[in-house]
Amino acid sequence: MEEKIEISILLSLYGNLLTPTQKKYMEQYYNEDLSLSEIGENEQITRQAVRTILVKSKKKLQEYEENLQYRKKEKEIKKLTQKLEETKLNQVQQQILEQINNLLEC
C-alpha cells in the first residue's frame, strides 16, 4: 500500500512529463483504484497491455525522481520545518515557516 501512495505522489509531481496515455492509465490505476482489467475494458486493450504501460510509466516516474530528487528534497525540508516548529520562534519567523509549509502543501 505504501508503494502505491508513493507512486501516486510521484505521479502528482511528475505526471505531466508522461505521455497523455501513460498519465491517464497511471491515474486510473493509482488514484482511482481501477484494476488492470477494468482499465483494459474501458480502453479496449488487453490487461497485459495496460500492465506494460503501467510498468514503463512507473519506471519513468522513478527515474525522474532519481534525477530531479524533488520528493527527497521535499521530505528533508519537511523534517527541518518540523524541527523549527519545536523551537521558540518570533512572529516573523513563524510567518515565514507557515509560508514554507503552505508552499510544500501545494
The predicted-structure confidence for 8-62, as pLDDT tens digits, reads as follows 999 999 999 999 999 999 999 999 999 999 999 999 999 999 999 999 999 999 9
CB atoms within 10 A of CB 23: 16
Angstrom distance (rounded) from CA 7 to CA 58: 7
> What's the pLDDT score for residue 57?
98
DSSP code, position 45: S
> What's the pLDDT score for residue 5?
93
Residue-number span of the structural domain to which 26 is assigned: 2-68
**pTM confidence score:** 0.79
| Cα-to-chain-centroid distance, residue 104 | 13
Task: Identify whether residues 29 and 40 lie together within a single domain.
Answer: yes
Total number of domains in the chain: 2
Angstrom distance (rounded) from CA 100 to CA 106: 10
- The set of residues, in sequence order, having a beta carbon less than 8 Å from that of 99 and lying 6+ positions away, is none
Task: Identify whether residues 80 and 54 lie together within a single domain.
Answer: no
